[in-house]
Amino acid sequence: MKILSAKKYKANLKCTIHATGKLGFNEAAAMALEIDNETTIKFGFIENESESEEETDSLYLIKSHVGDEDAFKINKAGAYFYVNAKALFDGLKLDYRNYNIIFDMIDASEHGEGVFKLIKRKRKRKEKL
């Protein structure tokens, strides 16, 4: 019998698109990605799972390193990590201005090391008074 360790399943890996278009990572996601000064990330999708880039719900995040021309730089503000991917999210027609868009990050190592499938959840943003 194989025991499933609670340590492996204790934290939810999440990233959230902020109203500014920046993608922020929770602490568990930053730790899982082992973010350092050399870490960058790429986004992709599996072509047979969606019609086009604009229609995809099968978005993947891939850990990469500095020097990869297809990757986004990870920035740090205090203990917080984020990626300025506004242009990408605009191109994917994700309405992050009107909706809170949160991605649950699921290990997708069957596609390679450092690959996570992003499972999208969204809810209407509260209107500011």
Note the pTM of the prediction, 2 decimals: 0.83
Q: What is the DSSP string of 11-79?
A: S--EEEE-TTSEEEE-HHHHHHHT--TTEEEEEEE-GGGSSSGGG---EEEEEEETT-TTPEEEEEETT
Round to the nearest angstrom and report the end-to-end CA distance of the chain: 56
| pLDDT tens digits, one per residue of 2-51 | 888 776 666 789 999 999 999 999 999 999 999 988 899 999 988 765 55
Cβ burial, residue 115 (10 Å; 0-12/13-18/19+): middle
